[in-house]
Amino acid sequence: MQIFTDPKALAAQCRAWHAAGDDIALVPTMGYYHAGHEDLMSYARGLARRLVVSLFVNPTQFGPNEDLAAYPRDAERDSAIAAAHGADALFMPEPAAMYAPDHATWVEVPELAKGLCGIDRPIHFRGVCTVVLKLLLLTGADVAVFGQKDWQQQAIIRRMVRDLNVPTRIEARPTTREADGLAMSSRNVYLTPDERAVAPQIRAALLEAREAVAAGETDVSRLRELVLTRWREHMPGGKPDYLEIVHPESLEPLQSVDGPALMACAVKLGKARLIDNILLRS
Ligand code: PAF
């Protein structure tokens, strides 16, 4: 596995691979790998002749009061994991290599970024779209793989790629979970043992909502109340940032569940802000 820090050198290597007839799969990450990242890498490894993994804690997707400085990092362990999963290239640029001091160009999908995580993180998806487009342009990736835990992110990236005619196929992988259902996240390290013990209630309540829909419930308020009640009882320290039922593609809020519907949430538990989602109907 080659390690690149210079965007131009990465782009030159990717052009050479394409010229030799090799296709390229990209897994964009911010590092501190867990089994979810490993799943993205293993899956992407099977999609193309060349696998590029990017590891970049992208500063532009963090708000001023967010955890950019505290975001967990372990580049040495991460490179060993990427190599073990057959990456041909690991791209680890410094922020200055990605953003000129007078960087002034942003990519936004405001219609899809205004709700859910966008409410509390108004600049987040602008930073994500901008860096992901840069990575797609640098690598010329034929396919890029994202996780469904960040459902809103993958929906926004799909729309950006479609709207800008970016010739990269976007694939999303199901959320990888701990045995007790907690969605894997690099931010789970922020949880204290007590918080970790109740965190699976996030998933448990979403599953209860899905069961209620399977049993015929369609009312969005009642479904939300079901989840909030369970959290109040079993996870009193958890503070929901949002809990919404939206259309899985347009992300528009739904009044009732009578077609495709996604329940998505963000919950603050101690220092961690945990997100999760479930398809109530597909
Ligand atoms: O999902 C992430 O880890 C990041 O948002 C991404 C897609 C790597 C962009 O920085």
Cross-strand pairs, 172: 146
With a 6 A CB cut-off, is 55 part of the ligand 1 pocket? no
Active site residues: 37
Q: How far is the CA of 30 from the centre of ligand 1 (A)?
A: 6
**Residue 207: per-residue pLDDT:** 98
CA-135 nearest atom, ligand 1: 9
Sheet of strand 272-281: strand arrangement: 239-246, 261-269, 272-281
State pLDDT tens for residues 146-188: 999 999 999 999 999 999 999 999 999 999 999 999 999 999 9
> pTM for this one?
0.97
What percent of the chain has a predicted confidence (pLDDT) above 70? 100
CA-54 nearest atom, ligand 1: 8
